[in-house]
Each structure stands twice: as structure tokens, then as C-alpha cells.
Amino acid sequence: MNRREFKKKLAAAAALSPWLWNIQLDQMQHEIIYPNPISKGDTIGLIAPSGFISDERLNRAIANVLDLGYKYKHSAELLNRTTGYLAGSDQDRIKEIHDMLNDPEVAAIWCIRGGYGLTRIIDKLDYNLIKAKQKIILGYSDITALHIAVFQNTGLVCYHGPVASSTIKNYSKACIENIFRDPTKLSAITNPFSLKKRNSLYEYQIINPGHAEGQLIGGNLSIVNSLIGTKYQPDFSNKIVFLEDVDERPYRIDRILTQLIDATNFKECNAIILGVFEGCIPKPEESSFSLHEVILEKFKDFTIPIVYGYSFGHTENCCILPVGMNVIFDSATGTVISSSDKN
């Protein structure tokens, strides 16, 4: 089916679901583009588009950038613009993003932390500017909203991976260096959790075996869920969906997954990769299902490849998953590679 025929079929459905029509049109307008690579010694722009930043977080972010062999730049007012739980007003944070994009010295953008705040501003960003500058945008947690909004509005691939204030161990360091050097490749993405670590939350588990190919979409589960009903709601059809969360008790994960499955076309995805759900355990005194019982129950009718415990999210040894990249996933080996590398 060519593009014109597809539009005609969507138009026929528009009277029944104009909201779906708008989403589908918005998500089919952009070709996939990759950001520019960066070299050692280039300057990385450190931004705080969500939660407030402490001295400790900023210093840790700076140390990580320097250790990787890059220079850094951040807003001079960064530590003085805290507004409640936000790293400044909405306008402050919008301006910071636009300033880093416009700055010719800044080769890539690395978010210092997540928290909350991006859903307040993603509708006010200059996506023409983002597309024109084609800079790497790296981060996770609340940064999920930025990744999805940027990709849907521009086609620019974004990178779900460690925030700049993370503890960067060798595995994550290799992933970051590979993406900075070549944003089109995924040469370091293998799952490191071969050893049982602490408890079952860190074990790589194959729920449904298999391999699948598709476009990566996802990030933090709570943030993805918060986009339901907005124009940034992802289209999950034929996608490889990756999800993780932190400090949500099992009944909350149950509630979020129930809404995601019932309110979207989530069931049409090609595979599901679940990260480490750090701290997602019941309180000792409460009657509860375990996290794994919730996951098995919610996905019991799915026949696609599904794994739990992949190396991303709020955990050590965090890999980078590019939102928008076409990839191949193999549950047996726990590998994700770009489709262009399959031969």
C-alpha cells in the first residue's frame, strides 16, 4: 500500500475517530534522521529540563563528562532557578533547551536528571530548531517525554540512557562512547545481568521466547502512560516496546499496565523488553502480588517475545536504547542490534 492509499484509508476512518486520525497523520510525516556524532574534546551541554538540581548532582554530572573526555557547558543560573520541585520555571527550562540547541559550541545535550516537568513544556518547544540542529539528546526517566515528543515531531532519533549524574560504570561508559561516536550503531547493547544480583528484580528472564524486528519506542512506564490521550501518545503497532519504572508498588504497575493495554494499541507491538523495575516491591506488611506475578498476569495472552530484567532504567549498568531506531531483538541472547547491521 502506498502513502496516498494509506491516507485515503485513514481519512475513511476519521469520522469515527478524528483523534486517531490526527495521531496517525502526525506520526507518519517524518522520515527517521540521526543526530550528528561527536568527538573527544567536544562540548556537551548539561541541561535540567525536569526536576531541580543540587550541587552534588551537578558536580557528579560534570565529573562524568570530563571522565569521558569531553568539555561541558551549563546555564550559569542552573543552581539558582529552583522552583518547587522543578529546575526553574517552564520558561526557564524551555529557554535552556533552545539555548543549548543554538549554541555552536555545544555538540550534544545530556540531561542531568529526570524527576518531573517535561510534560509541562513539550508542547512549547521549537521542533523546527531541534530538527535543524540534529544534536544527540541523552537521558532517561522523565526525559522519556522529551524523547517521544522529539521523535514524533521531527523524526530525530533520541537516546534513552543514563542521565549525566548517574553512576557511570564501564558497561554504561562503553554504551555512551559508542553512541557519541556513531549514533546509528548499537554495537555495545548486550544484557549484562547474567549473574543473579541481590534478588529476582535483577534477573534476566524470558517470559515469551523469540526474536522480533521493529522500531524502538518506550522509556519510563509511568511517563509513557501519562502521554495516553495526548497528541504524544505513542503508536505501538509493529514496534519493539521497552519499559521500566522505579519505586512503584506492584498494584500501581498493575494499574498502569492495565490502562496502557486497554486504552491504546499496545497489543499490536512486536516485542516487549522490560528493564529493571528498581524498588517495585510491596510493603512488608501489605497483602500483595509480587511484581513478577503482575507482569505474568498482564501479559499471559501475549504471544510475542517478552523479557524482563534488561539492562536499562534506574539501575547500574544502564545501556542506551535509541527511540525511533529500527532494531532486531533476540530474547535468547538478550541482544538488540540495529536492523542495518543484520547482515
Alpha-carbon span 220 to 224, nearest angstrom:
6
Catalytic residue of the set 165, 248, 314, 316 = 314
Q: Hey, what's the cell of 59?
A: 558536580
Alpha-carbon span 5 to 8, nearest angstrom:
5
Angle of helix 143-154 relative to helix 18-27, nearest 10 degrees?
80
Q: Is 160 in the active site?
A: no
Strand duo 205-208 + 211-220: pairing = unpaired
Which amino acid would we find at residue 200? Answer: S
Q: Is 314 in the active site?
A: yes
Q: Is 187 in the active site?
A: no
Catalytic residue of the set 141, 166, 226, 311 = 141
Q: In the 3-class helix/strand/coil scheme, how is the chain assigned residue by residue?
A: CCHHHHHHHHHHHHCCCHHHHHHHHHHCCCCCECCCCCCCCCEEEEECCCECCCHHHHHHHHHHHHHCCCEEEECCCHHHCCECCECCCHHHHHHHHHHHHHCCCEEEEEECCCCCCHHHCHHHCCHHHHHHHCCEEEECCCHHHHHHHHHHHHCECEEECCCCCCCCCHHHHHHHHHHHHCCCCCCCCECCCCCCCCCHHHCCEEEECCEEEEEEEEEEHHHHHHCCCCCCCCCCCCEEEEEECCCCCHHHHHHHHHHHHHHCCHHHCCEEEEECCCCCCCCCCCCCCCHHHHHHHHCCCCCCCEEEEECCCCCCCCCCEEECCEEEEECCCCEEEEHHHCC
Catalytic residue of the set 165, 172, 226, 244 = 244
Among all residues, which ones are annotated catalytic? 141, 244, 314
